[in-house]
Structure 1
């Protein structure tokens, strides 16, 4: 067990987790949130923030993290001026920046200061891989009730299921989901802050950022950069007539490697499922249809079609579904030779053919959607019987009467809710 230690503090510190901080004398600010004697804050593993002591203060610290003394604040003066400028008006702010440029810290700091100044503040968290508001695989909308040290303390009031922990290959749902949630956020808060993924280089990244800005039509685009690494985007946004505010990235940002990011995702999944508690819900797929895939869009093939495919391929077909433009086949076993796939496709020359194998569904994250695609929750698919039109989903959702559809995701979790596979978009 970590021993609690007492630290006399004054000035600025970078606080790295895992750490529990209790203020025993005086007051401090963490990410712009004021804490005074008796208040506590938890800094999770692989996360860090800025602490500023208001004069002389004393804190009690427990955990394996650290306090690192700085000679100056990590918050640029330009940030403070920006917060002052937005605290007096209703607006939507789109935050743009490369990986580890401090976007989430900036959004949290701005939200806390604006809340202090009396604004209603909502946050749209578009970072589906490093989600703070809502579970991974979703874009989350949160309404701040009080200042927070980290956005993960904000409860999601709405969300949009994308179904992956990476935007790559999912740009259309990313743009649609962000636009829908920003529209909803504008009805909730006078200041809407949009936190985006650090995907800024390459054709898909350019398309995602530029089309998302067009779709949400923000009042301001904040570009956080150390040099001119976002110039290829800001130049086009300015040409389109958007007001772009270029601010320096924080001089100190916690750099996360691939392992850190994976651990944060695993912690987020675990917290969402294991800590909230789950139940196994049984869905009748005639009433709650599968969406978001070729599977579920057609009708079961006739016995004659199944027999014809099996005769050509010498493979046992568990299930086959045909629509106007596709054929989805569930095979009992994985064929050992590639020629089998070509033979199956030759049976459906005018259609897109999707082949999956028995058990393909195990551990897939699914979105549970209501009327008109309204997000209700996420779950983990544990059983799928396509002949009986029955699915068993492990989910925190207790009441499933409003569920109209199960949207297939591209992430597979194990029994401990750890991500073990990310499937290609359109795999089924």
Structure 2
């Protein structure tokens, strides 16, 4: 789930769910619309890796996002980057016409989808992903990783934890805030302030810090990171498996991850999907009913 993966098939299969992954690229989200460029780049990277192993055939099974201008642009770019010998276009009526118009230079075979095949609902797709979480987190346990031992990607807060600290400025910030936060770190144009559960910061004090530092302040409550889906890679960028972020210990600068991976981990990529303790996806609030603090927190992920 939330990955692009490949494997080598030596005999006929009836369900791709039963195939064992050879390697994968972690997108970290459930829809390619979140970042089409990331999906395309990941797919091309895996394609090149597969071709180095001289397969007889390479079949790319793309996602089902085809409706709307953004989907059409994405699919055309994807095909152009992959540059296949043949594009199989599976449709029930003429829903792929806008995409076909953009692929005229490619050889295409249009296949009619069986009428018995119905489009999966959003709930069905989520249910299938949740089965995938259960499958790929089987026999998982909690591992603790010092942040100085691993590289963290796709999360500005954790990437900034190991940055050189300006202790004089930190003291001034704490004075303006009227409290000492659990953690404070800076990136190029932002300052991340982590506070305890149930704690609040005065908005006027936050504005004072922004005026002093000329940087945007991002306030995060400890515990809000719990449940984030992530991927683990080794030193050669081989995908090892997925995990769930259990806790960030800002004092000890460690992160606890629930994962079945037992190999040495070099890189952790943080996703934009959260799971509860039963491995069910937690829906994110809409912009209309989130607090200002949570809206700031969403910017991190």
TM-score range, shorter chain: 0.7 to 0.9
| Unaligned runs of at least 5 residues, structure 2 | 286-296
| Structure 2 CA distance for partners of 1:370 and 1:345, relative to 1, 3 Å | farther
Task: Give the RMSD, CA atoms, in angstroms.
Answer: 2.5
Distance verdict in 2 for CA 1:331–1:347, change over 3 Å: farther
2:117 paired residue among 229, 236, 253 = 253
Aligned residue runs from structure 1 range 20-39, under 5 A: none
Match of 1:405 among 250, 255, 267: 267
Equivalences for residues 329-340 of structure 1 within 5 A: 329-333=193-197, 335=200
Instruction: Tell me which of the two structures has the higher relative contact order, counting C-alpha pairs closer than 8 angstroms and 6 or more residues apart.
Output: 2
Q: Cα offset for 1:324? A: 2.7
CA distance in 2, matches of 1:222, 1:385: 49
Which one of 8, 21, 34 corresponds to residue 169 of structure 1? 34
Q: Which residue of 1 aligns with 2:2?
A: 137
8 Å CA contact 1:283–1:391 kept in 2: the answer is yes
Please give the per-residue CA displacement for 1:62-93, whole angstroms capped at 9, x wherever unaligned.
xxxxxxxxxxxxxxxxxxxxxxxxxxxxxxxx
1:425 & 1:217 partners in 2: Cα distance?
Answer: 36
- Equivalent residue number for residue 59 of structure 2: 193
- SS of structure 2 residue aligned to 1:269: helix
What pairs with 1:368-387 in structure 2 (closer than 5 Å)? 368-371=232-235, 373-387=237-251
**Is 2:216 the counterpart of 1:358?**
no
Secondary structure of residue in 2 paired with 1:193: coil
Is the partner of 2:182 in helix, strand or coil?
Answer: strand
- After superposition, where does 1:200-349 map in structure 2 within 5 Å? 200-238=66-104, 241-273=105-137, 276-298=138-160, 299=163, 301-314=165-178, 316-333=180-197, 335=200, 342-349=207-214
Task: Normalising by structure 2, report the TM-score.
Answer: 0.84
Closer/same/farther in 2, CA of residues 317 and 172 from structure 1, 3 Å limit: farther
Correspondent of 1:418 among 280, 290, 293: 280
Quote the Cα distance in structure 2 between the aligned partners of 1:326 and 1:207.
33
Q: Which aligned pairs between 1:37-116 and structure 2 lie closer than 5 A?
A: none
Structure (1 or 2) with the greater helix fraction = 2
Counterpart CA distance in 1 for 2:213 and 2:236 is: 32
1:81-125 Cα distance to aligned partner (Å, 9 max, x none): xxxxxxxxxxxxxxxxxxxxxxxxxxxxxxxxxxxxxxxxxxxxx
Please, which runs of 5 or more residues in structure 1 have no aligned partner? 1-135
Instruction: Give the match's secondary structure for 2:65.
Output: coil
- Aligned pair in 2 of structure 1 residues 316, 173: CA closer, same or farther (>3 Å)? same
- Give me the whole-angstrom Cα distance separating, in 1, the residues matched to 2:212 and 2:116: 59
1:427 and 2:300 matched? yes
Mapped contact 2:225–2:246 kept (Cα < 8 A): yes
How far the C-alpha of 1:208 sits from its partner, in A, is 2.3
User: Cα distance, 1:412 vs. partner?
Assistant: 1.1
Q: 1:139 to 1:341 in 2, by over 3 A?
A: farther
CA distance in 2, matches of 1:345, 1:152: 49
- Asked if the contact 2:225–2:247 (Cα under 8 Å) also holds between the matched residues in 1, the reply is yes
